[in-house]
Structure 1
């Protein structure tokens, strides 16, 4: 899944980035950066966000 597809999936469910971040315990700015593709989610919280969004596998 690409960041654009993840963003679309959230939009279809009516979930904003703020809602997603709050409900999953993530920093809003990190979620936005991962959804926009400016942060590839290679490590740390960004990686956890990417995994939760389905952009990366658990071991990636």
Structure 2
């Protein structure tokens, strides 16, 4: 298991894949403002949709319940 990414690394991953924040958000059914807040460090992704988004972005290690 690898260490969680920094916000800069997560943003760079999206850039490498050619995916915008809006596109990532649409693909994962997330609010794009929430994703932007996570990538800017304004939110920590502790619970709910923020947790789900942080795990999907690689910002934290965690489990996503289906």
Distance 1:12 1:40 in 2: 23
Q: Aligned pair count?
A: 59
**Aligned structure 1 segments of 4 or more residues deviating by more than 6 angstroms:** none
Determine which of 43, 48, 51 is the counterpart of 2:47: 43
Q: Take 1:4 and 1:46, find their aligned partners in 2: how far apart are those partners?
A: 17
The Cα offsets for residues 16-43 of structure 1, whole Å up to 9 and x where unpaired, read as 0000000111011101101111101111
* Structure 2 length-normalised TM: 0.83
- Bigger share in helix: 1
| Residues 1:53 and 2:57 aligned together | yes
Q: CA deviation at 1:15?
A: 0.3
Unaligned runs of 5+ in 2: none
**When the two structures are superposed, what TM-score results if normalisation uses the length of structure 1?**
0.91
Bigger radius of gyration among the two: 2
Instruction: Give unmatched runs, 5+ long, in structure 1.
Output: none
